[in-house]
Amino acid sequence: MTVLKGRTALITDADKTIGRAIAEALAASGANVLIQGTDPASAKAAAAEISTRHRVFGQGLGANLADAGSIASAVAAAERPVDILVHTSCPQHLAPVEEFPDAAFEHILNVGLTSYFRLAKAVLPGMRARGWGRLLVMSSVQGLVASVDKSAYVAAKHGLVGFSKALALETAGSGVTANAFCPGWTGTEGTRAQAATIGAKLGISADQALQQMLVEKQPSKQFIKVEALGALVVFLCSPAGDPITGVALPVDGGWVAQ
């Protein structure tokens, strides 16, 4: 499938898990890929693997998303203009508000929310000039509802939904669209790490905590597959996605339907 042939996508955190799956799906659809990762070597390796497998251009961009200068340098180093931006990165920390470290709160908002503002600001002028673009951000079901002990994450993810809607209004009619997608529990190491933390707090195993998380929140009782998120991004970047802008799309096995 070459529906995105000639387009170039910049995907954050694309040297692992969800970002990697999205990069693979975009490359399989013909898009060139710019792979951001905190570790330059990891980003370059992922870009080389993806570009070879799918026969597209690939470039690894090492960047610290908590640092404005690092983001600017990475965008400037991109060897192709960015047509598609997909932001997936957001750290996690669990603690009650009164015990939440200030530094952790600021870091989560900086990487999860502010970095997307900086990236969108950098690539949007080129998208406008070319009359086409996709601004896509992975918020979360917790960008639509809240959970305990996740104040910073919930704040960042809600902020991404609001910022995406503002982008949609500012770009309406320009050929550029802006959307958020909001996964529920996914089958990633990040979810397992959360389960381990929750399990330790409740005195149960990580596997028991995982099952409890699904039963309590996700009616499908199945983890969201990262491949499904990749397919969704491709759909939103395809011609079928042209009229879709300003939405926050739940991908959550029925979580917010309750």
Q: Express each pLDDT in 204-247 by its tens digit.
A: 998 888 888 888 899 999 999 999 999 999 999 999 999 999 99
pLDDT of residue 199: 86
What number of residues does the chain have?
A: 258
Go through the domains of the chain in sequence order and give each one's CATH number.
8-184+225-251 (3.40.50.720), 186-223 (no CATH)
For residue 14, pLDDT beyond 90: yes
Closest C-alpha among 113, 230, 249 to residue 179: 249
Instruction: State the pLDDT at residue 209.
Output: 87
pLDDT at 2: 87
Q: Which residues contact residue 63 at a Cβ distance below 8 angstroms, ignoring those fewer than 6 apart?
A: 36, 37, 38, 70, 71, 73, 74
- 47 contacts 35 by C-beta, under 8 angstroms: yes
Q: What is the pLDDT of residue 251?
A: 98
Of 105, 116, 153, 181, the active-site residue reads: 153
With a cut of 90, say whether residue 160 has pLDDT above it: yes
Question: Is 153 among the catalytic positions?
Answer: yes
Decide if 113 contacts 131 (C-beta within 8 A).
no
Helices (H), the chain: 17-28, 40-54, 68-77, 102-109, 115-130, 151-171, 189-202, 206-217, 226-237
pLDDT of residue 152 exceeding 90: yes
pLDDT digits (tens, 9 = 90+) for 100-128: 999 999 999 999 999 999 999 999 999 99
Q: What is the pLDDT of residue 189?
A: 78
Instruction: Tell me what the pLDDT averaged over the chain comes to.
Output: 96
The whole-number pLDDT of residue 6 equals: 96
Q: Identify which of 100, 98, 76 has the alpha carbon closest to the alpha carbon of residue 156.
A: 100
Span 93-106, mean pLDDT? 97
* DSSP 8-state secondary structure symbol assigned to residue 117: H
